[in-house]
Structure 1
Amino acid sequence: MTLMKKRTIILIPYPAQGHVTPMLRLASLLSNLGLRPVVITPEFIHRRISPQINPEDGIRCLSITDGLDAETPPDFFSIERAMEENMPPILEALLRKMIDEEEEEGGGIACLVADLLASWAVDVARRCGVAAAGFWPAMHATYRLIAAIPHLIRTGVISESGCPRNPSAPICLSSNEPILTPNDLPWLIGSSSARISRFKFWTRTLQRAKTLRWLLTNTFPDECQSRKMTRCSNAQQVLEIGSLIMQALEISTGSFWENDLTCLDWLDKQTMGSVMYVSFGSWVSPIGEAKVKTLALSLQALRRPFIWVLGPTWRRGLPDGYVKSVAGHGRIVSWAPQLEVLQHPSVGCYLTHCGWNSTMEAIQCKKPLLCYPIAGDQFLNCAYIVNTWRIGVKIEGFGIEEVEDGIIKVTEDEQVSWRIERLYENLYGKEGSSKAMANLSTFIQDLGK
């Protein structure tokens, strides 16, 4: 059966904002290339994003039962249980029904693309006889770190349960990659039992990923200046398409929260390059009331214009009357249209948790970064931002001197601006975009074989 008859392609994102957004953009790209993308999410995600998707975008959104308690906000472990126990039989029944419907119409399912953090869907695709591809929504270096788990165990860097054997020993997978500390490993979050559970999640993900023929990555060629560092089986094609995903902006990215658009009007009134944008993303746990208070007092004392994305659960750390006291030079919003904020000429720098989407958007908008990683892959992203690409600085705390020093370093160093410009060209220039399109075309052509 030719690819033109098997035009439907299933996409399964991990159910978090930073994963759903790039998957929807990938769906938009595939739709523009003549495929019929169907994005399948658990109910609690579907309720948030489906009303925002324009039917004219050519994307169909379906939901599956997740079995989660609607009254309790889901966390990593409740989502993992739902993905491993509740969702597979529901997806399998839906997928078999779709296969039957497609065959009646003379078509078929071309492929199922699963976010690797939703690797449970790979097994479902295999049982249904559907080709599967992986989607890695972060930089490829993070995948290489996960793929190196067997090597790290074999060389004694970590134990069989993922615990560092020497907490002070540096980790370096190759001479071209930044040196990490054991605390930078993405599964080392929370209590000892939580860390072990997260490590099991990653090892299970790795085993499923090894079976895939294609791995689409939300990154760019030569992110680490060396193609020799790719640690994948010879049978697996790693196809970087990040620059295309970041430029697929004509589609609503399905924000889980309502954007406060008034901050854009406020930005219009500020001096060019004067504003610091502060956001720690949509998924990580709050940084703690004490740190919120310290940062709040530093921003107040600096009197530099700022926009701070601070959800209701984070605001308990703010001093009494704080929002009113900084109204002359600062705005605090629950959620912001981040790309539009970063594109604004009044924004001069970005204090970030170093999430990958945020990092890519900062490069796209040519904004230098103050880095305060909190969890997961953010530490590795930070290492590349600070040590490899040198387009930002890492701060260890939110004291006034450290924040002010960081701002000065990233906004007054002309070399930082020059390096961001170079990186931007690598990602979004003609060559980078052409490579990404060639990679995506290779994937689509392979589906037809």
Structure 2
Amino acid sequence: MMRDSCHIAVLVFPFGSHATPMLNLVKGIAASAPENVKFSFFSTAESSKSIFPGSAAKCDGDFSNIKAYDVWDGVPEHHVFSGNAIFARIGMFLDATPGNFDKAMKEAEEDTGLKLSCLLTDAFLWFSADLAEKHGVPWVPFWTAGSCSLSAHLYTDEIRKLGATTEETVGMIPGFEGLSIDDVPREILLDNEQSPLSLLLHNMALNLPRANAVVVNSFEELDPAITLDLKPKLQNLLNVSPIPLIAAAAASRTEPKFAANHDDECIKWLKKQDETSVVYIGFGSSVITLPPHEMVALAEALETCKSPFLWSLRDRARKSLPAGFVNRTSGFGKLVSWAPQMEVLASGKVGVFVSHGGWNSVLESISFGVPMICRPFFGDHGLNSAMVENKWRAGLKVKDGVFTKNGTLNALELVLNGEKGKELKENVQLIKGLAIDAVKPNGSSMRNFQELLKVITMS
């Protein structure tokens, strides 16, 4: 039976690109769930401020059943960080868990007058298994990346036995045939004592089988061998992406569509370009900064190529561009400090997406039928890039994993003009079709989404 009132606790890992897909998933659920379902969204104040419009206290008017609560980030008062402190911040945050979440959840229960009925959490927050058990409610972790990286983490012990220096492939993992051990996330190869993040991810892999359901930010048809292998390992594996299409279709009960409705400078500029002619460059999170020599190499390649380009580049990074680059390329290129990425990729104007290989970018690119050139940095970027190039054949990884002028020029020429590019475009269009089919009324992702609704709202 449906509970008289459902109070879903949403626990967020507030770093990198984790919070946005979680909020998108919750919005999709909120748009489809009955009115008696309420969501308390727990993240740090800084993270919530970045993803909620206006006040971090609540979501926008269409989602009044989602309310944000701040959890302590673990940083002592008056503490000053130096340099790139992302891993220090993550360490302090993890040291504060689970007490910071427990305190905020009690506040939400008192505020709403409703006991929690389910924990929907980032899969990184493996301790949520114990929190859910303590509250006597289901635990539903959300893996915000792809099934390939989830599988890699579940096979951590087997991969570590191969050794970090081996030249062997990781082909013993279903769906990984032909991939190298160099492609798997670095944290898998580290001893748990060397890295708090390695310990976190290993604990996650050990605890995920306890979950009532595991939600994955992908669709089954993208990695069928991996999906088939994961299902017996987890209680209820639910691939529910592409989430923006899922949310639109679930809310309207119609065929999935994505409408670009921004009228900003990016979209205005794109409308003037030829179909599939534009090189779009974007490296996602502010954590990622190209080394100056790679910035120069990429800029010189774009200037020599002379294809129209749209580069999402923060103002502080522009100091590394070659002198006069902006003026010399103003006739065919555009630099912006931020771009509405999904709308750019959905425009039909982009011929190739130059990216870091983060999962959100990969999923958006292939879901909108745009081939990629990947320059991986950390985490799952290398594995995602290897899947793009070697398994899905939907793009390329830059030679030796770094931008050089000639290497970048060759990659752009291959994708935009060569026979290889035609093959990549055909492949990525096939994947786009699979993504669209997955979110149709009887598609795999839509069926899994409906199952997710049942898991989190039924007693």
TM band (smaller chain): 0.7 to 0.9
* Cα distance change on mapping 1:332 and 1:192 into 2, 3 Å: farther
Q: Which amino acid aligns with 1:43?
A: A
Residues 84-233 of structure 1: matches in 2 within 5 Å? 84-99=94-109, 104=113, 108-153=115-160, 156-158=161-163, 164=164, 166-174=165-173, 176-188=175-187, 196-226=195-225, 229-231=228-230
| Pair 1:445-2:424 in alignment | no
Q: Which amino acid aligns with 1:427?
A: A
Deviations 1:233-275 (A, max 9, x none): 5561111101344543699xxxxxxx99322222222222221
Match of 1:305 in 2: 308
Q: Which amino acid aligns with 2:180?
A: T
CA distance in 2, matches of 1:277, 1:235: 38
CA distance in 2, matches of 1:79, 1:50: 21
* Cα distance change on mapping 1:430 and 1:266 into 2, 3 Å: same
Question: Is the contact between residue 169 and residue 177 of structure 2 (CA under 8 Å) also seen in structure 1?
Answer: no
| Pair 1:423-2:431 in alignment | yes
Match of 1:338 in 2: 341
Q: Which amino acid aligns with 2:150?
A: Y
Q: Which runs of 5+ in 1 are unaligned?
A: 159-163, 252-258
Question: Is the contact between residue 28 and residue 247 of structure 2 (CA under 8 Å) also seen in structure 1?
Answer: yes
Match of 1:45 in 2: 47
- Give the match's secondary structure for 1:230: helix
CA distance in 1, matches of 2:69, 2:391: 41
Match of 1:82 in 2: 92
Task: Choose 87-96 or 225-234, whichever is displaced more.
Answer: 225-234
Q: Which amino acid aligns with 1:209?
A: L
CA RMSD across the alignment: 3.0
Match of 1:19 in 2: 18
* Residue of 364, 370, 373 corresponding to 1:367: 370
Q: Which amino acid aligns with 2:411?
A: G
- Give the match's secondary structure for 2:117: strand
Match of 1:406 in 2: 411
Q: Aligned residue pairs: how many?
A: 430
1:98 Cα offset (Å) = 3.5
Residues 268-287 of structure 1: matches in 2 within 5 Å? 268-287=271-290
Match of 1:36 in 2: 38
* Cα distance change on mapping 1:234 and 1:183 into 2, 3 Å: closer
- Give the match's secondary structure for 2:179: coil
> Identity of paired residues, percent?
22
1:167 Cα offset (Å) = 4.1
Question: Is the contact between residue 187 and residue 198 of structure 1 (CA under 8 Å) also seen in structure 2?
Answer: no
Question: Is the contact between residue 84 and residue 120 of structure 1 (CA under 8 Å) also seen in structure 2?
Answer: no
1:351 Cα offset (Å) = 0.9
Task: Choose 389-398 or 193-202, whichever is displaced more.
Answer: 193-202
Q: Which amino acid aligns with 1:48?
A: S
Question: Is the contact between residue 113 and residue 135 of structure 1 (CA under 8 Å) also seen in structure 2?
Answer: yes
CA distance in 1, matches of 2:439, 2:192: 46
Match of 1:324 in 2: 327
CA distance in 1, matches of 2:193, 2:272: 46
Q: Which amino acid aligns with 1:374?
A: F
* Residue of 430, 437, 445 corresponding to 1:436: 445
Question: Is the contact between residue 362 and residue 368 of structure 1 (CA under 8 Å) also seen in structure 2?
Answer: yes
Task: Choose 287-296 or 226-235, whichever is displaced more.
Answer: 226-235
Question: Is the contact between residue 42 and residue 63 of structure 1 (CA under 8 Å) also seen in structure 2?
Answer: yes
* Cα distance change on mapping 1:148 and 1:430 into 2, 3 Å: closer
CA distance in 2, matches of 1:101, 1:133: 23
Task: Choose 279-288 or 213-222, whichever is displaced more.
Answer: 279-288
CA distance in 2, matches of 1:301, 1:148: 44
Q: Which amino acid aligns with 1:445?
A: K
CA distance in 1, matches of 2:127, 2:186: 18
Question: Is the contact between residue 220 and residue 436 of structure 1 (CA under 8 Å) also seen in structure 2?
Answer: yes
1:140 Cα offset (Å) = 0.9
- Give the match's secondary structure for 1:370: strand
1:422 Cα offset (Å) = 1.6
1:77 Cα offset (Å) = 2.4
* TM-score (normalizing by structure 1): 0.86
* Cα distance change on mapping 1:80 and 1:401 into 2, 3 Å: closer
| Pair 1:57-2:63 in alignment | yes
Q: Which amino acid aligns with 1:390?
A: R
Question: Is the contact between residue 371 and residue 393 of structure 1 (CA under 8 Å) also seen in structure 2?
Answer: yes
Q: Which runs of 5+ in 2 are unaligned?
A: 252-261
* TM-score (normalizing by structure 2): 0.84
* Residue of 384, 388, 410 corresponding to 1:381: 384
Question: Is the contact between residue 279 and residue 354 of structure 2 (CA under 8 Å) also seen in structure 1?
Answer: yes
- Give the match's secondary structure for 2:186: coil
Residues 66-81 of structure 1: matches in 2 within 5 Å? 66-68=73-75, 72=81, 75-81=85-91
Q: Which amino acid aligns with 1:373?
A: P
- Give the match's secondary structure for 1:51: coil
CA distance in 2, matches of 1:148, 1:189: 9
CA distance in 2, matches of 1:369, 1:241: 23
Task: Choose 279-288 or 118-127, whichever is displaced more.
Answer: 118-127
Task: Choose 168-177 or 319-328, whichever is displaced more.
Answer: 168-177
* Cα distance change on mapping 1:188 and 1:122 into 2, 3 Å: closer
